[in-house]
Amino acid sequence: MTQSFSNEQPNTSNNQQQSLNHGGHEMMDMHETIGEIIAGLNQSIFLRPHVKDQELLSILDRQYNFTLGTYNTIVESYNTGHDPSVPTGRYQMETGNDFTYGLKPGQPKKPMQNANEINDEMISGFLLGAHKGSAKCMTAAALETTNPVVRRVVADSIPNCIEMAYELSIYQNKHGYYQVPQYSQQDMRAMLDAFATSKNPLH
């Protein structure tokens, strides 16, 4: 949850000063981040009438509503420089997290030839890409942000983008749209055992 950074209510002059407490890099990255979120929301509206699977439609609607709330929280904190009236929340998936591993032969993928080819595989991929894009933009913005409230709001929103992308990848894997290869057990064991913990902290 977004934490408070002040113990008293600032006066009008301080309010104005706090709303301008942003560096140049922060302004540019925040514009890109907010634009990325808007693009993802607009894409959901455009794609929704083409969804055929009810499970995907439910995911789209839940993720859209949550992202819209995130958008409002980010914009408010960005405009005011103060704690938003609705703090950042935590997105909860409504699915398991089991993946099917291994590759099965199938038709090679290629670009669409016309708009009528759109299907649930493509739509879930578009939605997944939007969340990945938002997570990257938010990470860059959080690392450049000087306003402490905006930095925390944006940083707290990154895990939600990751969670929504993860939910879509599980959906894609379940329907065979996204296959996950694995190393052999011998190679995997060797890679897992390649590191050991350390017990020598600095004093």
pLDDT in tens, 45-88: 999 999 999 999 999 999 999 999 999 999 999 999 889 999 99
Q: What is the mean pLDDT of the chain?
A: 89
Cα gap 93→166, rounded to integer Å: 9
pLDDT in tens, 111-146: 999 999 999 999 999 999 999 999 999 999 999 998
Its pTM stands at: 0.86
Q: What domains does the chain contain, in order, with CATH numbers?
A: 22-102+118-192 (1.20.1260.10)
pLDDT in tens, 92-120: 998 888 899 998 888 888 899 999 999 99
Q: Are 25 and 144 in contact (CB under 8 A)?
A: yes
Find all residues with CB under 8 Å of 155, minimum gap 6, and list them. 138, 142
pLDDT band for position 3 (cuts 50, 70, 90): very low
